[in-house]
């Protein structure tokens, strides 16, 4: 269904063929922190005698994805959104947005790792090309400004319009890219993808998955992404209901 909506949007001339934005966002897993237990089987320290749902004392305990795993959803990973933020069991949603009207061209859910956002870039670009699009630029935030990620874009003939990360290091892109007039435009437009995630998490109810595993969560995300595109199309065509043909 998602692909059919994208095809219909492209038929109506609503999609950019060349300019895109990539971003990732954390989706809470259907698992609580009390299910995050040592992989070696050692029981956690509890503070009561409730056999069904005991209170767990994590004080002083070092927990990581290497040593612990959720017994509710083994594919969920412990991650925090930023410094000072609470760590949660999550998945990572990766979105590829076209820059003309802010519609989703692709949406995937993967396990949340330190490199998952960047690892998704070649996958999303290759899939876009297989569907007949011709990416020339790809906008993104500072998280994508690494040498490997930038190199993967350039290898595919895509100019990396990602924000420069110069905090304590040099950026993987230089003035040859940033002086191009299209660079600041991409940087401005890329912020629209936050609105997409905002809609999916609030209106679409996808802030937290109801399903276990990346595959099931990804399927649910695809349905929410389809709904977003349909709503966006309806606004763009002036209230005319889009006709989508499915097999």
For residue range 166-199, list pLDDT tens digits in order.
988 999 999 989 999 999 999 999 999 999 999 9
- pLDDT of 243 > 80? The answer is no
- pLDDT of 228 > 90? The answer is yes
- pLDDT of 245 > 70? The answer is no
Higher pLDDT: 79 or 246? It is 79
For residue range 121-174, list pLDDT tens digits in order.
999 999 999 999 999 999 999 999 999 999 999 999 999 999 999 988 999 999
Q: State the pLDDT at residue 121.
A: 98
Q: State the pLDDT at residue 66.
A: 87
Structurally, at CATH architecture level, domain 2-30+92-236 sits in: 2-Layer Sandwich (3.30)
pLDDT band, very low/low/confident/very high, at 84 (cuts 50, 70, 90):
confident
Q: State the pLDDT at residue 247.
A: 45
- pLDDT of 60 > 70? The answer is no
Closest CA to 139 of 17, 19, 5, 10: 19
- pLDDT of 61 > 70? The answer is no
- pLDDT above 70 as % of the chain: 88
Q: Tell me which of 43-57, 67-81, 100-114 is least confident.
A: 43-57
pTM of the complete model:
0.87
pLDDT band, very low/low/confident/very high, at 213 (cuts 50, 70, 90):
very high
Q: Count the neighbouring beta carbons within 10 Å of the beta carbon of residue 191.
A: 13
From CA 123, how far away is CA 108, in angstroms rounded? 10
From CA 170, how far away is CA 71, in angstroms rounded? 41
Domain boundaries in the chain?
Answer: 2-30+92-236
The whole-angstrom distance between residue 47's C-alpha and the CA centroid of its chain comes to 37
- pLDDT of 49 > 80? The answer is no
Higher pLDDT: 196 or 40? It is 196
DSSP letter at 46?
B
Q: Count the neighbouring beta carbons within 10 Å of the beta carbon of residue 29.
A: 26
> DSSP states of 55-70 as a string?
-B--TT----TTTEEE
Q: Count the neighbouring beta carbons within 10 Å of the beta carbon of residue 11.
A: 12
Reduced to 3 states (helix: H, G, I; strand: E, B; else coil), residue 78 is: strand
Closest CA to 178 of 169, 166, 168: 166
Average pLDDT, the chain: 90
């Amino acid at each position: 269904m998602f692909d059919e909506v994208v095809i219909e949007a492209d038929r109506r001339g609503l999609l950019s063929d060349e300019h895109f934005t990539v971003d990732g966002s954390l989706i809470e897993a259907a698992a609580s922190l009390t299910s995050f237990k040592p992989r070696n089987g050692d029981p956690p320290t509890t503070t009561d005698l409730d056999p069904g749902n005991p209170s767990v004392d994590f004080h002083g305990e070092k927990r990581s994805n290497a040593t612990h795993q959720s017994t509710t959803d083994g594919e969920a990973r412990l991650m925090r959104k930023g410094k000072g933020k609470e760590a949660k069991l999550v998945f990572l949603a990766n979105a590829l947005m076209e820059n003309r009207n802010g519609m989703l061209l692709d949406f995937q859910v993967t396990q949340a790792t330190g490199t998952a956002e960047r690892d998704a870039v070649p996958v999303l670009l290759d899939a876009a090309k297989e569907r007949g699009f011709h990416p020339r630029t790809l906008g993104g935030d500072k998280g994508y400004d690494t040498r490997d990620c930038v190199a993967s874009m350039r290898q595919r003939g895509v100019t990396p319009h990602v924000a420069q990360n110069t905090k304590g290091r040099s950026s993987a892109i230089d003035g040859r890219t940033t002086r191009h007039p299209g660079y600041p435009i991409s940087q401005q437009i890329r912020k629209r993808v936050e609105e997409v995630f905002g809609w999916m998490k609030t209106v679409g109810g996808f802030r937290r998955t109801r399903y276990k595993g990346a595959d099931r969560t990804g399927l649910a995300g695809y349905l929410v992404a389809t709904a977003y595109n349909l709503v966006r199309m309806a606004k763009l065509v002036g209230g005319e209901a889009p006709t989508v043909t499915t097999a």
